[in-house]
Amino acid sequence: MNNETLNLEADIVKTLKNIHDPEIPVNIYDLGLIYEIKIDEEMQVEIVMTMTSPNCPMADDLLNDVYEQTGKIPSVKKVKVQLTFDPPWDQDRMTEEAKLDLGFL
């Protein structure tokens, strides 16, 4: 990965840390909902993410937020957000900070 790609990935992570699951007071990145961030040579971004539950009533809103907020980053040329449930989300995906915020530590 070159510096431009690394900087863009850092900007994407920063952006994702500002998006919160409305039902859980933790950002989606620290919650472990982001499985993968792919950036190609043309600065097209693909984000693979999940939800805490396949029945999440806010799934469409969260996917839209990820798409729209990532697309606002100046160097991003195109955004694709892919939803997956494989592997299923579990609490082990959360950062230590998220676990602490939610009282799991």
pLDDT(104) > 90: no
Domain regions of the chain by residue span = 3-90
| Whether the predicted pLDDT of 101 surpasses 80 | yes
- The mean per-residue pLDDT over the stretch 23-30 comes to 91
What's the whole-model pTM score?
Answer: 0.92
Helix ranges, 41-95 (H): 59-71
Q: Are strands 44-49 and 34-39 parallel, antiparallel or unpaired?
A: antiparallel
Retrieve residue 83's tokens.
């939803």
| CATH fold group of domain 3-90 | GMP Synthetase; Chain A, domain 3 (3.30.300)
pLDDT above 90: percentage of residues in the chain? 76
Q: In whole angstroms, give the CA distance from residue 57 to residue 31.
A: 17
Compute and round to an integer the Cα radius of gyration of the chain.
14
Cα–Cα distance between 86 and 35 in angstroms, integer?
A: 10
